Structure 1
Amino acid sequence: MTHQPNRFEAVTEVAAPTLDDNDAPPRRFPRRAQLGLAALLLLATAGTGIYLAGGRPAQADAPPPIPDVTVSAPLQRAITEWDDYTGRFEASQAIDIRPRVSGQLVSVHVRDGDVVRKGQLLYTIDQRPFQAALAEARARAAAAETQVALARSEYARAARLLSDEAISREEVDALRAAAKSGEAAVAAAQAAVRSRQLDLEFTQIRAPATGRISDRRVDVGNLVSANDTLLTTLLALDPIYFSFDGSEALYLKAQRRDGGAATTQQVEIRLQDESGYNWRGKVDFTDNAIDPGSGTMRGRAVIANPDYFLVPGLFGNMRLTSGGSVQALLVPDAAVRTDQARKVVFVVGADGIVAARAVEPGPMVGGLRSIRNGLKPEDRVIIKGVQFAMPGGKVNPRPGRIDPPAQLAAAAPAQIPNASQATLAVN
C-alpha cells in the first residue's frame, strides 16, 4: 500500500529547503515530533484568538461618582449701602488779613501758626496819627454844636418878635435856615468823629473768625497800605469742608431715589493711613450744574474738627449713604461665579440637580457678598465645592451654614461694577 502524506507532512516537506551537494543534510525531526509541534502551534493560535475575541471580557467604563457639595440658605441681614467718592478737605473760611488803614506796623501779638479766636488782637498799627485826627474831628464837632446852639437861640427870639411885628418874616426864615444848617453841620462833624474813631479802631487788627493763622508776611517797623498789604492768612477749620465730585450716574441715582427732594445725607470719611471710616459728617451743598468737561457734579460735606487734626489739602475716601437700611441676602464671595458677561450663583434643587441663577451682586459686607436680585431666601446655595458643580448635573448636597459677618465695616472696595460698599445696619 502506498503511504499518503497527511496535511502536516505536506506543509513540512514544502517548507524544507533544498540542499546542495556540498551542504550537510538538514536535521529532520521524527514524524511523531512534527505532529506534536504542529498541534501545539494550533492550540497556541486558537488560544490567542479566543483571548482576542473576548475570552477575558473587557470592563465597561464606570460612571464618575456624584460630587459632594455644601449648601446653605443665604444669610439675611439689614444693611446700609454706601456710594464711594474721593475728595480733599478745605477750610470752611479762608481769609486774607489786610490792614484797613495805612501806617507803620508797631507790634505783632500772635505767633506764626497760632490758633486764634474771633476778635483776638493780631497786629497793631501806629495809633498816634489817628488819635490826633480823632481829636481834631471832635473839636470841629464841638464848634459846630456851639454854632447851632447860637442859631437856635437867635431863631427863637426872632420867632417871638414876629408875633409883635417887630421883625420881618424874611429875617425869621433866614434865622430858621441858619439853625437848620447848623444842625446839619453838627451831624457832619459827628460823622467825621465816628469815621476817625473807626480809623483808630482799625489800627488794631483783630481776627475776623476763629481758626489757625499762617506765618506773618510783614515784620514790625514796615509801612503797610490800607486794603493792599497782606499780613497773613487765616483758615477756619472747625467745622471743615470736604469737597468731592460725583459722577452723573450717581447724581441721577440719588435724584431718582429721593424724588428730587433735598435730603440730609450722612457721610463717613477715611484718611490714607486709616483702615476704618472714623470721620463723620453730612452733605450741606450740591452744585447747581454738572461740569460739562468732566461730567461730574460737585458736592461738599461738613465735618466736625474740634481738635484741628484735619487740615486743608488732605486727601480722603468718602462713602455716602445711598438710602436707608435694606434687607439683603448675603453669600460667600466665592459662591458668585462669572458666566461670560453675567454673574451666577449655583443652587441645588430638591432632586439634587444644580441650577445656575443669574444674580445682581451688591457690595461686600464683612467678607460676604450681598445679592440685590436673582436669589430667594429659601434657595440652597452651593457655598463649598462649587468648582465640582455643573448646571444640570447631579450633586450630593450636605447642609452647611454661612457665618455672620464678623465686622460691621465693609471689606476692601468691591470689584464688581456698580457695587460700592455696605455695612450692617445698626439697630
Structure 2
Amino acid sequence: MIKTFRFALLACGLVGGALTATAAPAVPVRVATVELAPHAEERAIPGRVEAIRVVDIRARTEGVIVQRHFQDGQYVTEGDLLFTLDDAQPRAALALAQAELKSAEASLRQSQQLLTRYERLINNHSISRNDVDTARMQRDVAAAAVQQAKARVEAQQIVLSYTQIAAPVTGRVGHSAFHVGTLVNSSSGVLVDIVQLDPVRVSFALDEAAFFSKTGQHADIHALKQAWLAQIEVDGKRRDGVLTSIDNRIDARTGSVAVRAEFANPQHRLLPGGSVTILFRPQELPSRVMVPAAAVQQDPQGFFSWVLKPDHTAGQRRLTLAGQQGQQFAVEKGLQVGEQVITDGAQRLREGAAVQVLN
C-alpha cells in the first residue's frame, strides 16, 4: 500500500514537471505607441551645388608683386589683402600731379588778383573794357587748369590704390600661379579667383506635375515658396533652404523646370560642383498614423507589425503603408492611434505569445 502511494506521488510529480516545462516564458519586448503626426511624401531630387558669387581677381595696373598675402585654398574675408604691387612709380606720378595742382592753384590766385585790380581800375577809366575781359578769360583758364590738375591727382590716387589688391568678397581663394617677383598688368589674366561658400546655391529640376500641382498655372517664385519646402541633409541633420528663382520655361526634353534654392553653409561642407539630394515636400503637412520603422517587418505576404494585446500577448497585424519619413512609416491601413506596437524582441514572437514589456 505504501509503495503504491509513493508511485502515485512520483507520477504526479513527473506530470507536474512536464506541465511546467512546456509553459513558455514571457518574451521580453519593448513597445511604442502609434501616434497621429504630420506627414507628407517627399521627393528626392538630385541637385548641383553652385557658388552664388565667383570673383576673378585681375591686376588693374602694371607692377611687380612684392607681397602675396594668402595661401592657396585659404579662406579670406572681404577687404583682406591678396597682393601688393611695387608702388614706386605710381607714388612718383602722384607726387608730380600734386605739384602740378599747387602750380595751377597759384596761377589761379594770380589771375584772380589781376582781374580784381582791373575791375577797380575800369571804374576810373584807367584801363579799357577789353583789358578786363582778357583778365577774366585768363582767370577762367587758370580755374580750368586747377580742375584738370585735381582730376590728374585723383586719377593717380586711383592707380596707386590698384597696387593694393584686396578681396572684394568673403570666400575661399583658389590656386594661383602668381608669386612675389612676377610682373603683372591688366593683360596678365586671372591672378586668383574667390568662391563664396556661405551661403551656396543649389540648382535642381522640378517635374512639371509637381510644379503646377501646388502653385497653379500662373506660378511664380512666391507661390512656389508658399507651396513647397526644400531641404538638404548635412551631417545627418536637415537644413532648410530658401527658394530663390525658377526658370522662365519648361525643358521639353525632361518635362521639368529649373529651380534654385539657397542654403546656409557655415561649415563649408558644401562645395560648388558637388552633388546633393534635395528633399522637396509640401509646406502643409497632413496628419497620418505614424509608426516607428523598427516596428515594421516584411515577409513574402507584405508588411506587418506585432501588436501588444490587452492580455499582454502578441498579435500579428498586416499593414498597408503610405510612405516613409525618416525613421517612421505612415500607415494607411492596419493600425489605430493609441495601439502599442513591438519595436524590440519581435524575432522571438509567435501569434498569441505572452510578452513582458520592458519600457
Q: Which residue of 2 aligns with 1:93?
A: 53
Distance 2:127 2:197 in 1: 73
The one of 53, 72, 76 aligned to 1:112: 72
C-alpha spacing 1:333/1:259, structure 2 compared with 1 (3 Å): farther
The answer to whether the 8 A contact 2:221-2:246 is kept is no
- 1:294 Cα offset (Å): 3.6
The answer to whether the 8 A contact 1:257-1:323 is kept is no
The answer to whether the 8 A contact 2:58-2:192 is kept is yes
| Stretch of structure 1 that moved more, 223-232 or 142-151 | 223-232
Mapping of 1:30-45 within 5 angstroms? none
- 1:190 Cα offset (Å): 0.7
**Cα-to-partner distance string for 1:227-281 (whole Å, 9 max, x where unaligned):** 642211111111111121212222212322996571535422136xx6x453332
- 1:116 Cα offset (Å): 0.7
C-alpha spacing 1:203/1:85, structure 2 compared with 1 (3 Å): same
Distance 2:186 2:342 in 1: 63
The structure carrying a bigger strand percent of its residues is 2
Gaps of 5+ in 2: 1-33, 303-319, 344-359
The one of 69, 79, 99 aligned to 1:139: 99
**Cα-to-partner distance string for 1:113-158 (whole Å, 9 max, x where unaligned):** 1111111111111111111111111111111111111111111111
The one of 112, 128, 139 aligned to 1:152: 112
Distance 2:274 2:52 in 1: 14
Q: TM-score, normalised by structure 2?
A: 0.70
C-alpha spacing 1:216/1:149, structure 2 compared with 1 (3 Å): same
Mapping of 1:18-417 within 5 angstroms? 76-226=36-186, 228-256=188-216, 260=220, 262-263=222-223, 264=225, 265-270=228-233, 276-328=236-288, 362-365=322-325, 366-369=327-330, 371=332, 381=333
Distance 2:254 2:92 in 1: 59
Distance 1:216 1:405 in 2: 60
Distance 2:93 2:337 in 1: 91
Query: Residue type of the partner of 1:285?
Result: S
Three-state SS of the structure 2 residue aligned to 1:106 is strand
- 1:401 Cα offset (Å): 7.3
C-alpha spacing 1:237/1:106, structure 2 compared with 1 (3 Å): same
- 1:367 Cα offset (Å): 4.3
Three-state SS of the structure 1 residue aligned to 2:197 is strand
C-alpha spacing 1:404/1:81, structure 2 compared with 1 (3 Å): farther
- 1:191 Cα offset (Å): 1.0
C-alpha spacing 1:223/1:327, structure 2 compared with 1 (3 Å): same
Query: Residue type of the partner of 2:39?
Result: I
Query: Residue type of the partner of 2:122?
Result: L
C-alpha spacing 1:104/1:404, structure 2 compared with 1 (3 Å): farther
Q: Look at both structures and tell me which one has the larger radius of gyration over its CA atoms.
A: 1
**Cα-to-partner distance string for 1:288-342 (whole Å, 9 max, x where unaligned):** 332344432222221112222221122111112323122335697979x99xxxx
Distance 1:297 1:258 in 2: 14
Q: Which residue of 2 aligns with 1:49?
A: none
C-alpha spacing 1:287/1:148, structure 2 compared with 1 (3 Å): same
Query: Residue type of the partner of 1:280?
Result: D
Distance 1:330 1:161 in 2: 104
The answer to whether the 8 A contact 1:78-1:328 is kept is yes
Gaps of 5+ in 1: 1-73, 339-358, 372-380, 384-398, 407-427
C-alpha spacing 1:320/1:177, structure 2 compared with 1 (3 Å): farther
Distance 2:270 2:221 in 1: 31
| Stretch of structure 1 that moved more, 186-195 or 362-371 | 362-371
Identity among equivalent positions (%) equals 29
Query: Residue type of the partner of 2:72?
Result: D
Q: Which residue of 1 aligns with 2:19?
A: none
The answer to whether the 8 A contact 1:212-1:235 is kept is yes
The answer to whether the 8 A contact 2:114-2:135 is kept is yes
C-alpha spacing 1:183/1:364, structure 2 compared with 1 (3 Å): same
**Cα-to-partner distance string for 1:52-85 (whole Å, 9 max, x where unaligned):** xxxxxxxxxxxxxxxxxxxxxx974332453332
**Cα-to-partner distance string for 1:380-417 (whole Å, 9 max, x where unaligned):** x557xxxxxxxxxxxxxxx99765898xxxxxxxxxxx
Q: Aligned residue pairs: how many?
A: 284
Q: TM-score, normalised by structure 1?
A: 0.59
C-alpha spacing 1:260/1:139, structure 2 compared with 1 (3 Å): closer
Three-state SS of the structure 2 residue aligned to 1:238 is coil
